[in-house]
Chains A and B, each alone.
Chain A
């Protein structure tokens, strides 16, 4: 029955939370806090076992399945956005720019944290380094350009940032997906999935097979309720299968989304069905993340501080090189780098996906570092983006 109570609390929070998105009188900072969902993370922390304990450890463990579903949902939604036919319309330099930005940011974060590890300032394994680098390379669209919609930004820099925001999570999803395979299925483990690459191949195969099944099923015509059942069914089925086999549900669902986006004529309808529930789902995810969060030891704060600075550096360098690769007419020294500090949903889903399998210090460190960059992004992201767009005369 405690689980029921937990679901009620989380459900009501999600409900009232999604209503908050509509209130236009909020100050920009509060709006960013609400839009990024960070406020719901703190509510989760408050209700969770570490604070007032309304949702205790037992409930939180039971609700882990819901968190997994949320992560899968994010993956499916993300995958559905990438259609090859649409991709072809993107000029190649812009596409290379987006990938360069993501990879350079990832590389910088990895290099900084790795150097610290070599100098024995930190003690981190390659897996954690890769996960943090991947998470740090993503950019938020909610607290990024979307927060400036009322000012109607327009121009090549705006377009480039919009493209970078939507594409730079692809390498991150791949790194975390394959990283989880390698770390959870070492070569010496039992079973068919032993060896990270064998597991990664199974992930790929699973995603493709599920995607094809999904596509075949939606070939028939259905009413909106039935379509929702299929979407929900495949989302839970794939997320459950990946959790069951110790894989990244985000990665598997991303592949499913990718397959459906490229094979089905109903991709827009599916996308709309998923988006309809996006906000409540996202807030459920955040509240649960708050409940699951534990304060890591003081030593972990060094990692978090280094991660924050490495991310800023990575984004600046990534933005600078990406601007050159994309041949963007920027005036600033760092290209579009200063417009890419915002951070939220995808990063959080990646961190939660890792924490599912590492509910110890490692998972908490990754989650705390992610939350720290989200808050940092909320504080400085919109301001720097606004400055960049003003300088480039793309907003008034």
Chain B
């Protein structure tokens, strides 16, 4: 029945496009139409797919992929760009959720494990990716116009991007599975901490590589020192915002869902104006609101209410943005990149967990929470692409190709693990 419904919804959209022929185009109206269409179609596909034990977000992404520019073209690039506000709002809400899910009393117990997994995993993925990608690139003739020295920097950048994970994917799967437990806490904590390491590592490698190509740092590429200052300021701003917003929610008990949406917009606006890392600001704000409330304001419950439709459209748009044409051109190298990353994510997690005597389920399965890759990796690849015009295209293409695979494998595996270990439903 639902399969028939999704067919009908797609048919309606195609008919609407046919009826529109000959009329003046209006991006705003089409964006609203696409937003509604994605909400409905993504929802139905998510419901169909979750019956097979696959997470809904995979369904949302598949729905976006089918509607996207490479298949049905119901959602084109112009509309995807026009709906970027949804991306920004969704990322802030994801960060608020990730922060809110980090419970202080549980994190205290796990901190040693989280720290060691973050360090081990980052280092092992980085080192192994560098070595193996370098050999693969020379064997497969990836980006053949580069010299050996240039190839090393290219591989170094790819390796640091490989260490990044997608907090949004992990959070979405955790929320859907309503999971709680050691794996959930470890994945959430590590994802947050790793983001900080990745940003610092990326800035360091870019600043070391630039002089070798006779290039100068652009304003958009911050120095390592600035990254640290920026993070400290973002942490402080997030804490302050969290306290103030919590106070507001406690004093004004009405329309809290609307307040949370307005608060998320406020974070976007303030972070942009003050040049802060909005994800970090939101994460800390979420952490403060979830851990330091004197009275229950139902923050997480209301955040979930507000974010459900936003997440749905966000992941549909993420699916529509997956560039299948690029994937086709780099699929061999992308497969190697993904395989190396998977193998050493597992190894790094396993070794660190064993060293810090984490529970067996963390040792065996937590690595699945780090497979997903999305916004952060894409953002870093695009910065590298602009900074290194000689080989930037190779980086962007390969990372995009890998994201297609990681986003399709990651959520499914992680969800299966959460259900298998009994942490999620």
Complex Cα distance A14/B261, Å?
12
Q: Does any Cβ of B come within 8 Å of A210's Cβ?
A: yes
A240 and B34 contacting across the interface, CB-CB below 8 Å: yes
Output the least CB separation between A284 and chain B (Å): 10
For residue A192, which residues in chain B have a CB less than 8 angstroms away from its CB? 18-19, 21-22
For residue A61, which residues in chain B have a CB less than 8 angstroms away from its CB? 28
For residue A213, which residues in chain B have a CB less than 8 angstroms away from its CB? 5, 8-9, 12, 40
Q: 0/1 per residue, A1-33, Cβ < 8 Å to B?
A: 101110110011011001100100000000000
Q: Does any Cβ of A come within 8 Å of B65's Cβ?
A: no
In the complex where A15-B259, A191-B21, A225-B308 touch, is A244 in contact with B254 (Cβ < 8 A)?
Answer: no
Complex Cα distance A220/B305, Å?
20
A11 and B258 contacting across the interface, CB-CB below 8 Å: yes
Complex Cα distance A389/B155, Å?
83
* A-binding segment of B124-132, B265-273, B334-342, B404-412: B265-273
Output the least CB separation between B278 and chain A (Å): 11
Complex Cα distance A217/B12, Å?
15
Q: Does any Cβ of B come within 8 Å of A239's Cβ?
A: yes
Residue of B nearest to A219 (CB): B1
* B-binding segment of A79-87, A130-138, A229-237, A328-336: A229-237
For residue A239, which residues in chain B have a CB less than 8 angstroms away from its CB? 32, 36
CB under 8 Å from chain B, chain A span 59-110: 61-62, 64-65, 68-69
Q: 0/1 per residue, B234-253, Cβ < 8 Å to A?
A: 00000000000000000010
Output the least CB separation between B333 and chain A (Å): 37
Q: Does any Cβ of B come within 8 Å of A245's Cβ?
A: yes
A238 and B36 contacting across the interface, CB-CB below 8 Å: yes
A241 and B16 contacting across the interface, CB-CB below 8 Å: yes
Total interface residues in chain B, CB < 8 Å: 48
**A65-B29, A237-B39 provided; 7 other pairs, C-beta below 8 A?**
A1-B269, A4-B88, A18-B255, A22-B254, A192-B18, A225-B304, A236-B35
A4 and B265 contacting across the interface, CB-CB below 8 Å: yes
For residue B109, which residues in chain A have a CB less than 8 angstroms away from its CB? none
Q: Does any Cβ of B come within 8 Å of A246's Cβ?
A: yes
Q: 0/1 per residue, B11-52, Cβ < 8 Å to A?
A: 010001011111100101111111111011001100100000
Q: Does any Cβ of B come within 8 Å of A243's Cβ?
A: yes
B20 and A245 contacting across the interface, CB-CB below 8 Å: yes
The 3 closest A-B pairs by CB, nearest first: A237-B36, A240-B33, A233-B39
Output the least CB separation between B248 and chain A (Å): 10
B85 and A228 contacting across the interface, CB-CB below 8 Å: no
Q: Does any Cβ of B come within 8 Å of A280's Cβ?
A: yes
In the complex where A1-B272, A22-B254 touch, is A68 in contact with B32 (Cβ < 8 A)?
Answer: yes
B22 and A190 contacting across the interface, CB-CB below 8 Å: yes
Complex Cα distance A99/B134, Å?
79
Q: Does any Cβ of B come within 8 Å of A216's Cβ?
A: yes
Complex Cα distance A210/B9, Å?
9
A residues near B, CB below 8 A?
1, 3-5, 7-8, 11-12, 14-15, 18-19, 22, 61-62, 64-65, 68-69, 189-193, 202, 209-210, 213, 216-217, 219-220, 224-226, 228-230, 232-241, 243-246, 280
A216 and B255 contacting across the interface, CB-CB below 8 Å: no
A4, A19, A237: which contacts B269 (Cβ < 8 A)?
A4
In the complex where A4-B269, A210-B12 touch, is A241 in contact with B85 (Cβ < 8 A)?
Answer: no
A4 and B268 contacting across the interface, CB-CB below 8 Å: yes
Contacts between the two chains (Cβ within 8 Å), count = 145
Complex Cα distance A236/B29, Å?
10
Most buried by B among A191, A209, A229, A232: A229
Complex Cα distance A231/B398, Å?
40
For this complex, 5 residue pairs linking A to B, each with C-beta atoms less than 8 Å apart, are A64-B28, A226-B308, A229-B308, A230-B43, A240-B37
Residue of A nearest to B47 (CB): A220
Q: Does any Cβ of A come within 8 Å of B312's Cβ?
A: yes
For residue A230, which residues in chain B have a CB less than 8 angstroms away from its CB? 40, 43
Residue of B nearest to A217 (CB): B5
Most buried by A among B252, B255, B259, B268: B255
Q: Does any Cβ of A come within 8 Å of B140's Cβ?
A: no
Output the least CB separation between A119 and chain B (Å): 37
For residue B305, which residues in chain A have a CB less than 8 angstroms away from its CB? 224-225, 228
Q: Does any Cβ of A come within 8 Å of B146's Cβ?
A: no
For residue A19, which residues in chain B have a CB less than 8 angstroms away from its CB? 252, 254-255
Output the least CB separation between A60 and chain B (Å): 11
For residue A235, which residues in chain B have a CB less than 8 angstroms away from its CB? 36
Q: Does any Cβ of A come within 8 Å of B262's Cβ?
A: yes
Output the least CB separation between A1 and chain B (Å): 5
Q: Does any Cβ of A come within 8 Å of B222's Cβ?
A: no
A11 and B36 contacting across the interface, CB-CB below 8 Å: no
Q: Does any Cβ of A come within 8 Å of B309's Cβ?
A: yes
B269 and A244 contacting across the interface, CB-CB below 8 Å: no
For residue A68, which residues in chain B have a CB less than 8 angstroms away from its CB? 29, 32
In the complex where A192-B18, A225-B308, A240-B36 touch, is A11 in contact with B262 (Cβ < 8 A)?
Answer: yes
Complex Cα distance A189/B22, Å?
9
Complex Cα distance A19/B259, Å?
12
For residue A240, which residues in chain B have a CB less than 8 angstroms away from its CB? 29-37
In the complex where A19-B252, A245-B19 touch, is A228 in contact with B265 (Cβ < 8 A)?
Answer: no
